[in-house]
Amino acid sequence: MAKQPGEMENLVAGENISSFFYRKRVFITGHTGFKGSWLVATLHKFGADIKGYALSPEQSGGLFDYIQPLLIVKSVINDIRNKNKLEEELLDFQPDIIFHLAAQPLVRRSYQIPAETFDINVTGTANLLETAGKLKNKCSIIVITTDKVYHNKERDVLYTEDDVLGGHDPYSASKACAELVSDSFRKSFFNFADYPSHQKALSTVRAGNVIGGGDWSTDRLFPDIINHLVSGNPVPIRNPNAVRPWQHVLEAITGYLLLGMKLHIYPGEFSQAFNFGPQPADHLPVKEVVEKAISIWGSGSWVDVSENNQPHEAVLLKLDITKAKKALNWHPRLNAEQAIRWTAEWYKQPEDRKADFTFSQIEEYFVL
């Protein structure tokens, strides 16, 4: 349906994503992971009807363990590569919107299990999209990849959505492949020219390095910081001068939800890729993030443990978020220091307060 003049502007200014997602049927792969748990918690606050499909959390004490008793969510524990089970659960649920987060998400682990990383991140994405094509109802699909999908030239430039995809390590390359798989499905099976017949719209999203409470993943910066600060040991830093686009997880989650809403209402306008990252000033070196975290924590130190023979990780990576600002009216609400403070405050909470504190941070974020 053609938009009337000013209709998009009114949507941007006045549409409320919480009311949009109220009672929407939302299928989330990877819902037990760090970002998946924050997405589930946010959609739960909005009153969505949620079904999750994922493996069990790898580490105990992650966010999902805390919030699960408070959630109304259908939780299916299974592998994204189990195509038959995925199809059974997805077609039974008939979702309005799908968020695909299930992945092998770690760079250093991808060097240990490269073939499995490609299998999960590429074949898993293809499994989901092929199955989504079998849905009879209108459905919008958001595939979450990473800021690392770009062919990184290690130069001080902001990567835009039109830059060349690539990937040095298996994780980054597998996510670039997931982008190509998504683009192929968007053109071959979900082409907007045939939208009345298939009613499927597909976007991909590339977020910066997200931090927030409830992440205990191996080789992630903030879990390493917290573990060492709690134990009183110096925080070991592999790449202290590596620059990343740091942002609180709720910044990315809000971008995903905003895009999901727009994609569902205007599929022809938003079936494309979007970056979500911080403002340019918040692309910080690792050591500065660690020093800010130590200052906020109130004690601690760090030590450089760089090794010449360690697996390659990008040194310089920055995202251009102009497109999300203009097309979605999305803007970061927290600067890097605020994001670090919000994260540290979550980890300082007593065990019996972590779930409630998560929901209170969500409430606080959406009134900023």
114 φ, ψ to 5°? -65, -45
Is residue 266 in some structural domain?
yes
Low-confidence ranges of the chain (pLDDT < 50): 1-15
How many Å apart are CA 338 and CA 159, to the nearest integer? 24
Q: What is the pLDDT of residues 129-161, one digit of tens each?
A: 999 999 999 999 999 999 999 998 878 889 999
Contact between residue 328 and residue 255 where contact means Cβ atoms under 8 Å apart: yes
Torsion of CA 66, 72, 74, 76, to 10 degrees: 0
pLDDT at 330: 96
- pLDDT value at residue 4: 37
Q: Give the pLDDT confidence score for residue 309 in this predicted structure.
A: 61
pTM score of the predicted model? 0.92
pLDDT at 320: 96
Q: How far apart are CA 253 and CA 270, in angstroms?
A: 17
Looking at the structure of the chain, the number of domains it has is 1
**What is the reported pLDDT for 69?**
82
| pLDDT of 153 | 82
DSSP 95: -
Domain that holds residue 175: 7-210+246-281+317-334
Q: How far is CA 49 from CA 24, 57, 68, 82, 264, in A?
A: 6, 21, 15, 23, 16
pLDDT for 58 equals 82
CA distance 206 to 219: 20
Question: What six digits make up the tokens of 181?
Answer: 């798989």
- In one-letter notation, the amino acid at residue 230 is V
- State both tokens at 12: 């941007």
Q: Is residue 298 part of a domain?
A: no
Tokens 């979450």: give the residue.
144
Looking at the domain assignment, is residue 296 inside a domain? no
143 phi/psi in degrees, rounded to 5: -100, 120
Task: Flag whether 18 is in a domain.
Answer: yes
pLDDT at 308: 62
Instruction: Report the CATH number that the domain containing residue 101 is assigned in CATH.
Output: 3.40.50.720
Is residue 54, in this structure, part of any structural domain at all?
A: yes
Domain membership of residue 157 (yes or no) is yes
Q: Is 219 part of any domain?
A: no
How far, in Å, CA of 129 to CA of 122, rounded?
11
DSSP H helices, the chain, are: 7-14, 17-21, 34-46, 63-67, 83-93, 107-112, 114-118, 124-132, 170-188, 195-198, 221-231, 249-265, 267-270, 286-297, 322-328, 336-348, 354-365
DSSP 4: P
